[in-house]
Structure 1
Amino acid sequence: MTPTEAPLLQVEDLAVRFRVPEGEVAAVNGLDFRVARGQTFGIVGESGSGKSQSMLAIMGLLAANGRATGRALFQGQDLLALDAAALNRLRGNRIAMIFQDTMTSLNPYLTVERQMTEVLELHKGLTRRSARQLAIETLESVSIPDAARRITMYPHEFSGGMRQRIMIAMALLCQPDLLIADEPTTALDVTVQAQTVQLLRELQRTHGTAIVLITHDLGVVAGLCDDVMVMYGGRVMEQAGAEALFDQPSHPYTVGLLGAVPRLGQDDDLPLAAIPGSPPNMLRPPAGCPFGPRCALAADRCATQPPALVVEGARRRACHESTAAVTALRAARA
């Protein structure tokens, strides 16, 4: 994105809270990021870091006990300030989402045909016949064989990989400007994962769609993303270009994540590296850095002072320690 180009999506000071019987869960805290047109923006981190909830908040799909504050500007329009009717005009049309669990995201009582044609009838005003033809063509574009016959089937009649392709096809029916993909390769075998990544890459090249990719799979991030944001405890720990992040991580948490990735040629007898400890309880979040209790570089101030998210060249990082100290930590663990 050039300095003068307005971002497609600009999130400012996003916070997400959930009321539960025990109190309030601080799921996301002060999130800021931008996504440019045609960019693939990755969000990574452990389960519970706030990745999915931040995107559900932007889509207006939080659970009934959740609330979001801040701003999420989509082409200058604040999504958090829109009512349900206005959001419905955008969702599935200009903004689409591929959900993590395809079996529960697709309606088991409706055929794939009805679920796809409904989107086109609602957002594009097509007739049932025209919508069906476009739905078949879209299924063919995501490599669903014999699409004209299979479109009449129900979700349970497809494999997990096929359902994932159907979800991608549904998300792309209206050629959205922004596609949010939440763990699109989860529970898929390696071959289908590679096919899904290639499919997203080709569809982005064809339609110029911006993609926000939420994933645990750093291999997928390396192969698909332009920029990567690392989250932990509802906060941004680090953000950088994908190549820079993998070559030179500048936060102890990023070092830990990369160190836990299996590598070709690694001795089978050696255990995988692991980050000791557990993620924080967001009912009672730490007063300082959320990663402090698990960090090898933690000092006294890390327990009481949350580090500011500081811009350092082309990256952002939130850590009291210097980049040199993090680099030394990485070298010691290599």
Structure 2
Amino acid sequence: MSLLKVSNLEVAFDSPDAVVRAVNGVSFDLEEGSTLGIVGESGSGKSQSVLAMLGLLASNGRANGSAIYQGENLLTMPAKKLNRIRGNRLSMIFQDPMTSLNPYLTIERQMTEVLELHKNMTRRAAKKRAIEMLEAVRIPEAAHRIDQYPHELSGGMRQRVMIAMALLCEPQVLFADEPTTALDVTVQAQILQLLRNLQHDFGTAIVLITHDLGVVAGLCEKVMVMYGGRVMEHCNADNLFARPSHPYTIGLLRALPRLDQSDAPLVGIPGNPPNMAHPPSGCPFQERCIDASQRCADSVPPLEPFGGDTTWLRACNRPVEQMKSLHEVAHV
């Protein structure tokens, strides 16, 4: 049984000029102790999908579909009940530590409040636990740093505080939105190992939103590639890197630097992501796709099983054997 089952999730934002449909029909299952990576360019709908599940959309946002957790739909759950599990059983590492931490409160107060609310701990016990978690995310002199305000910490240290806060209650599901963006590679490796340990010890399921396909390769079992608010490809990570089947996935992989081809120029995806207030007809990627046909402009390709594998889904009209670009990413 899935720990979290998302079906046909849609997110839209009302504006004076148009309705921005940020997410269109996203579905996935998340098992206990598993990791799902969600990748794609900025504006593809990755973060809004997660914010919708946690009831954190902007005031002009609305969500439809279902996100079933422990038999209840998070999208229709009363706010009071959602508050009891958000930050406790469901937790999130936000993307921007500069604005996510309260500048008027010390790190101690922002961390101990979580434990006092959800775990009924005393202030003293909560502070001890908070210091232990700060040490776990490699913050030096944690007992001193916990009494400081966010502006007294570097960007990387604030990011680690956000990660520590998300892990305090040992959540069942952890949503991590670019959790290692502001960290150097050494600390990034330590944080990823901390997430692996959390999974091993507590069976935590992780939804990882990232632009870093290297992080996906090292941490995720499954990957969902999004573009223009839709899922383009959804499969096991091994299949994604060995045999990418969607032109957009191929474009993302071709844009990665490779150690075995250090002199080769990076190949970017031409064009820009679509304006979701006025999305293109047909496939959202067709205006940038070198394999697009008239059919791609006329109709949205369904997300369906590919190559006889029911766990490998792809939304593309072009048969893989006809894709001109597949041979260029062999052995990515």
Q: Give the TM-score normalised by the residue count of structure 2.
A: 0.95
| Partners of 1:176 and 1:182 in 2: CA distance | 15
Per-residue deviation, residues 61-93 of structure 1 (Å, max 9, x unmatched): 000111001101112210001122111101110
2:316 counterpart of 1:331: no
2:10 counterpart of 1:18: no
* 1:282/1:143 CA distance change after superposition, 3 Å: same
- Does the aligned pair in 1 maintain the 2:223–2:237 contact within 8 Å? yes
| Partners of 1:333 and 1:119 in 2: CA distance | 46
| Partners of 2:172 and 2:68 in 1: CA distance | 13
Q: Give the TM-score normalised by the residue count of structure 1.
A: 0.94
- Does the aligned pair in 1 maintain the 2:47–2:177 contact within 8 Å? yes
Q: Pick from 296, 303, 307: which aligns with 2:297?
A: 303
The within-5 A match list for 1:8-47 is 8-47=3-42
Q: Could you say which residue in structure 1 is the equivalent of 2:199? A: 204
- Does the aligned pair in 1 maintain the 2:43–2:228 contact within 8 Å? yes
Q: Could you say which residue in structure 1 is the equivalent of 2:2? A: 7
| Partners of 1:146 and 1:25 in 2: CA distance | 46
The offset of 1:267, in angstroms, is: 4.2
| Partners of 1:267 and 1:117 in 2: CA distance | 47
Q: Could you say which residue in structure 2 is the equivalent of 1:195? A: 190
Deviation >4 Å, runs of 4+: none
Aligned residues: 327
Per-residue deviation, residues 309-331 of structure 1 (Å, max 9, x unmatched): 102303000111112223x5221
Q: Structure 2: which amino acid aligns with 1:315? A: W
| Partners of 1:100 and 1:300 in 2: CA distance | 38
| Partners of 2:76 and 2:110 in 1: CA distance | 28
- Does the aligned pair in 2 maintain the 1:161–1:192 contact within 8 Å? no
Q: Could you say which residue in structure 2 is the equivalent of 1:227? A: 222
The offset of 1:333, in angstroms, is: 5.7
Per mean C-alpha deviation after superposition, the further-off stretch among 162-171 and 85-94 is 162-171
* 1:175/1:333 CA distance change after superposition, 3 Å: closer
| Partners of 1:147 and 1:89 in 2: CA distance | 28
Q: Structure 1: which amino acid aligns with 2:325? A: L
2:282 counterpart of 1:288: yes
Q: Could you say which residue in structure 1 is the equivalent of 2:316? A: 319
- Does the aligned pair in 2 maintain the 1:38–1:208 contact within 8 Å? yes
- Does the aligned pair in 2 maintain the 1:252–1:297 contact within 8 Å? yes
Question: Structure 2 regions of 5+ residues with no counterpart?
Answer: none
Per-residue deviation, residues 135-178 of structure 1 (Å, max 9, x unmatched): 12222222223222221111122222222221111111111100
The offset of 1:207, in angstroms, is: 2.1
Q: Could you say which residue in structure 2 is the equivalent of 1:179? A: 174
* 1:233/1:52 CA distance change after superposition, 3 Å: same
- Does the aligned pair in 2 maintain the 1:109–1:154 contact within 8 Å? yes
What is the aligned-residue identity percentage?
64
2:74 counterpart of 1:83: no
Q: Could you say which residue in structure 1 is the equivalent of 2:242? A: 247
The within-5 A match list for 1:119-134 is 119-134=114-129
| Partners of 1:333 and 1:100 in 2: CA distance | 30
